[in-house]
Structure 1
Amino acid sequence: MAEAQTDTQNAEVESAEIWIPPPLGTKKNKMEELLKIYDNLIDFLNQDDCDEDLKKALDLALSGDVSVGISSKNYDTKPKYLQVMELRKEDLRRMECGITITGDTSSGKTSLVNKLVGQRLVTPKVLRATSKICRIRNSETYAIEVLDVDGKVLKEKTTFNTPRKINKKLDTYTDTRDSNAGMYYIDIYCPFTNLDVKGNVMLVDTPGIDGAKDINAMLMEFLPNAFGFIFIIDASKAGGVDEDKLLAILRSINQATYKMPCFETDDVLFVINKWNTLHFRASSKSDDSSEDEDERISEDEIVWNEILTKLKAVWPTLTQDQIFRLNLLSENTADDTEKEKIQFRRFAEVLSQLLKKTKNRKVKMHMSLLFDTICVIERGIESRIHVATADNENMVSALQDSHASLELLGKRCKEICVELDENIESSVDNLSKTLYDYLNSPQGKNEILNPSGEKPIKDCFFLVREVSLRFRKGVLQWIKGKDVVDEIEKIDRIAVEKFKELHLELERVQVSITGKELEKRTEALTLSAIILTIGLAPLHLDDILRNTKQRKIDAWYSTCVEYLTKEELRTIISNIFKDHFGQSITSIFETELPKGILSTMCTISYLSTEREKITNNLESSLRLRDSLYKIKGDIENVDL
């Protein structure tokens, strides 16, 4: 094609528009295929035919830093697009699927790790006080490696013959001595005996969520890196669930889902540890002659119902299939009862499937990232070809119109952010007023104090406690009910429609500068699933009402209503909206769409000022398009 004459250029342009993928070759390792595609794409961008303005438009589309605009002089010697792709390559090369294990200190996190790997790899006392993230990696050999927060190796990988020697070495890394300063990750390599998985998967043992503030901050910072989560709950501790701590973790996950492409809301497992201790305590309690034998409920059933209620309050999509009652006091499955063995086998099977699922999801994510990158490059090349072959006068006018449209789009993005924020504030105001009126209405009072399926409040003992519990439960049910969900879905629909409106206009501009509609992904925008992570502190009314037991039930109910003010109700509902929308609206309308707008404006600026250069370099653009089609074909041929 390099020898083609000018009078045959138009024919060549037309014939090159039909791309036929090459025939499928022999099946290769997916990671190797994708790494090769990354390398080919980097080589493509480094060739002489690929001009700096094409790379600059790619920088704007990938970097996420749209504040500098298209006239910035801060163009590093190592451009951002190259930094982004090298980071992606490194991420793909690790191909690790991390499942984070978290819970209170001494809840059984390390014991679970030992049970999964099939041996006493580490002792709980070694990791209990550590402020480091321990990543247990699937491997045929035993080894330890220490890294800083950026992944730089501080202690080279050391191999061991037995797991006992690993534990001894860990003891020197997890204390607070000055020589351990800067250590962030401790990578432990060992075989996963009790998990049916292959390849580079890992379990992440984190500091206890009831530790110091810096440890909690470290845990929150690490959570978005995970593909799934295992929460350990200690059933022996007053119902097992500390709602404040667990709520903070789940809320952090929910707010981070917009930047966790490999995470889905059902990739969360809950392990209830020390379950077997409840039966012994139940049998040791003295009988209460005031209760009918037929109505007496065992302690394990009470705790189970309480844990289930609390977990669903903060993670409503949860099903009982995601909850496992295990005995982690014994790290050897041979010491378990038959019932405990069945539960552990079921847990190991579910976890193995989760690891396999997330691993394949990561391949799809990288294919999507590569495809998006190629689309940006293709748009730049096709626009150059279009400008070089189109009528000059019409093209000048079209470029001016396109630039004006993009400026309006940028302004509209900011306006929509403000509009959506106003919609959220209005919904919060209306919902908090509606809830307040409901709580103060006769209907609301009766529905809360006498819910369907429950004993009438007038027939209950310990009325102060029962009124408080039913009031709290009623408020939570209302907040998770139809009114709130409908308002969130309404704003979801508005956000999606606004995105479609702006994205279609951006695509229209891009079609006008390329002369044709390019292939694109057909995935529709969806905001995160509605996960109502609700925090409502227990209403401690015993002291307030200690001397008012002679009052009527309605007086106690009135005290509950007064205890939960209008401002507190508004804060609770506002937090629900913040948890759901998180940073997603900002990400869409202040980052993602503006990146596409600025990248396209950069291309238009180049097309408007360098038409003669573009026309003279038409053959170069045609060669680039042919090379890019080959890379595109390689992506299409990756077998999923």
Structure 2
Amino acid sequence: MLKFLFIKSTSRTTDTKLRQCLENASPDCMTFIAKRKKDILRSDHGIVVAGETSAGKSTLINKILGIKIFKGRNMESTSTVCKIRNSEKVVIRTELETGEVEVKYIGDIDVETKEGKKSLRDTLKELTDMTVRKGSSKYKSVDIGIPVSFLKGNTIMVDTPGIGGSGKVSQKVMEYLPNAVSFIFVINVASAGGMQRDRLPEILKSIINLQIDGEMPCFDPRSVIFITNKWDSIKNDPDDSSDEDDVKKTWKKITDSINRNWPSVRKENIFKMNLIDVYREDSSTIEFEKFRKALEKVIKENENIRLTQHFRYLCTLLEDVRTGVRTRQELTNKSKNEQERKSREHQMKINMLRNHCKTRSNDWRQRIESFIEQEANESFKYMSSDIGKERILNPKGWEPIMEVTYVPNKLCDDVRDRINHYINEKVRSPKVVEEFKNIKDEILEFYKEMSSEIEKMERY
């Protein structure tokens, strides 16, 4: 972006000075600019649908589009990433693993008719279903253009291969992650308590790592949506004497797991339904309509997100450069003795600020470590006490641990979930939240103080 807008010049000396000015204004900015340039070239705003095999991803997309273009299966079948976008005519393009793009199908078919839907569905099945044709696995992606006004602007809906199947299929999901501006995770509540213990948390962690590395600068973790599906598979035991039925217990367990793996999730972005019953069952239909509104909000918020975010970054960077250039110009107008004096003053000031930052940083680190150790010791004593064991293993609203059916693996998972529940309650307790809020406020205040001191140096 910026690199090609004004850094390129006919003079190598000028080019070097401009780069140096940028680096002085914002260290490592050239690396961030390169990453942002790469990101802004991704013209599509992908709302990625992910989930384990047979969780209901295809059913969800069919419901969203109002057109049954995918047929759900109980086994791994989709071998490629499918992108759905709004288009006046039906257009299907495929991208091979080699990068070559082919237009596979262009037609005037009417997707409102039964024949048109079947024709489109058969074509997609041929291109994406491994159970039909092994050659489908050679496609990196299939781009589907159909009339669907719900997808506005450059927003596309992306169907990904199921998690938990072959490693190659899951790798395609991982490779596509940086292209996303938001995610919808579909969770099968009948499988492993709703969250696959390996794959889904792994993807969530990968997204966080990509953000830390600056590979997803426009992604807002609060916009992620979780669809919990197949609640009809949870049957209440009529002989169960506990106060809470299996559906409520499963819901609590899943929401705890989601919050643990994705702390930024909004409560209103977790939905419970049977996708197969949408438009046939009142409760699932009502929940689906709530989901649609949440999705519309995400699409609207992300419509021009890349342009907005990158433009804001450039404005901030250019302002820093302007300040640096102005300071350099003012410095050249001073005598050599004045420059040297000012340089010494600034260097002394910088050293003082640097030492001050190190001291405060160490203070906060020690304070945090001391607080965590103190809370850990208190928790250990509580967990070791009789009353602690009783309350942790039998939290309010949960089935008593002694009444849980003895199945070794299930019991181990249940005990682990109860301990994790206690830990989550502990780290969200008013005492812990207040302490870290105070530390955060102090750091922000210190940041403002240091920024003010640096700004004074830039002015004089």
TM-score over 0.5 for the pair: yes
Mark the CA change 1:54 to 1:396 in structure 2 (over 3 Å): closer, same or farther.
same
Tell me by how many angstroms 1:394 deviates. 1.6
SS at match of 2:101: strand
CA distance in 2, matches of 1:487, 1:296: 36
Q: CA 1:60–1:478 in 2, change beyond 3 Å: closer, same or farther? A: same
Q: How far does residue 343 in structure 1 lie from its aligned partner after superposition?
A: 2.8
The 8 Å contact of residues 127 and 174 in structure 1, kept in 2 or not, is answered as no
Query: Which residue does 2:41 correspond to in 1?
Result: 90
Aligned to 2:115: none
> d(CA) in 1 for partners of 2:171 and 2:356?
36
Q: Deviations over 1:364-404 (max 9, x none)?
A: 31221220232243134323432343444323321344356
Please state if 1:167 is matched with 2:130. no
| 1:303 corresponds to 2:250 | yes
8 Å contact 1:126–1:174 — kept in the other structure?
A: no
Q: Distance in 2 between matches of 1:271 and 1:136?
A: 19
Does residue 393 of the first structure (1) align with residue 393 of the second (2)? no
Residue number in structure 1 paired with 2:385: 441
Deviation, structure 1 residue 179:
8.9
Equivalent residue in structure 2 for 1:481, among 429, 441, 450: 429
Please give the secondary structure, in 2, of the residue aligned with 1:508: helix
- For the pair 1:241 / 2:204, whether they are aligned, the reply is no
Q: Is the 8 A contact 1:132 1:174 kept in 2?
A: no
2:182 alignment partner in structure 1: 228
Deviation of 1:107 (Å):
0.7
Tell me how far 1:106 sits from its aligned partner. Answer: 1.1
Mapped to 2, the partners of 1:59 and 1:127 lie a distance apart of 53
- Number of the residue aligned with 2:85: 137
Deviations 1:257-281 (A, max 9, x none): 5544433343121212223454xx5
Give the deviation of 1:221 after TM superposition. 5.3
- Per chain length, whose mean CA-contact separation is higher, i.e. which structure has more relative contact order (CA < 8 Å, sep 6+)? 1
Query: 2: distance between equivalents of 1:204 and 1:110?
Result: 10
| CA distance in 1: counterparts of 2:371 and 2:382, whole angstroms | 16
**The residue matched to 1:120 in structure 2 has which SS?**
coil
Cα distance, 1:448–1:329 mapped onto 2, change above 3 Å: closer
Structure 2 contact 229–272 (Cα < 8 Å) conserved? yes
Deviations along 1:201-220, whole A, 9 cap, x unmatched?
A: 02222233323455545544
Q: Deviations over 1:432-478 (max 9, x none)?
A: 222112212355345436656779x79x7469879947556434422
Q: 2 CA distance for matches of 1:126 and 1:438?
A: 45
Distance 1:62 1:145 in 2: 44
C-alpha displacement of 1:354: 0.9
1:155 equivalent to 2:111? Answer no
Residues 476 and 263 from structure 1, CA distance in 2 versus in 1: closer, same or farther, beyond 3 angstroms? same
Gaps of 5+ in 1: 1-37, 67-78, 513-640
AA aligned to 1:268 is V
- TM-score (normalizing by structure 2): 0.75
The secondary structure found in structure 1 opposite 2:194 is: coil
Can you give the 5+ residue segments of structure 2 that lack an aligned partner in the other structure? 110-119
1:54–1:377 contact (8 Å) kept in structure 2: no
In the alignment, structure 1 residue 56 sits paired with structure 2 residue 19: yes
| CA RMSD after TM alignment | 4.5
Q: Deviations over 1:405-453 (max 9, x none)?
A: 5567678777877776655554443332221122123553454366567
Does 2:399 correspond to 1:432? no
Identity %: 25
How many Å separate the matches in 2 of 1:65 and 1:472?
39
Deviations 1:210-237 (A, max 9, x none): 2345554554454454222211111333
2:148 is aligned with 1:192? yes
3-state SS in 1 of match to 2:303: helix
Which residue does the alignment assign to 2:160? 206
CA distance in 1, matches of 2:453, 2:134: 57
| Partner in structure 2 of residue 345 of structure 1 | 289
| Partner residue, 2:301 | 357
Paired with 2:172 and 2:24, the residues of 1 have a C-alpha distance of 30
Deviation at 1:351, TM superposition (A): 0.5
How has the CA–CA distance of structure 1 residues 138 and 171 changed in structure 2, closer, same or farther, with 3 Å as cutoff? same
After superposition, give the CA deviation of every residue in 1:166-200 in whole Å (9 maximum; x if it has no partner): 432334899765993xx64443333335x3x4210
Distance 1:504 1:46, change over 3 A: same
* Contact 1:143–1:188, Cα closer than 8 Å, also in 2: yes
Correspondence list, 1:227-306, <5 A = 227-237=181-191, 239-258=193-212, 259=214, 260-278=216-234, 287-288=238-239, 291=241, 299-306=246-253
Contact 2:174 2:203 in 1 (8 A): yes
Instruction: Figure out how many residues of one structure are paired with residues of the other and give that number.
Output: 440
Query: What is the CA–CA distance in structure 2 between the aligned matches of 1:376 and 1:240, rounded to whole Å?
Result: 48
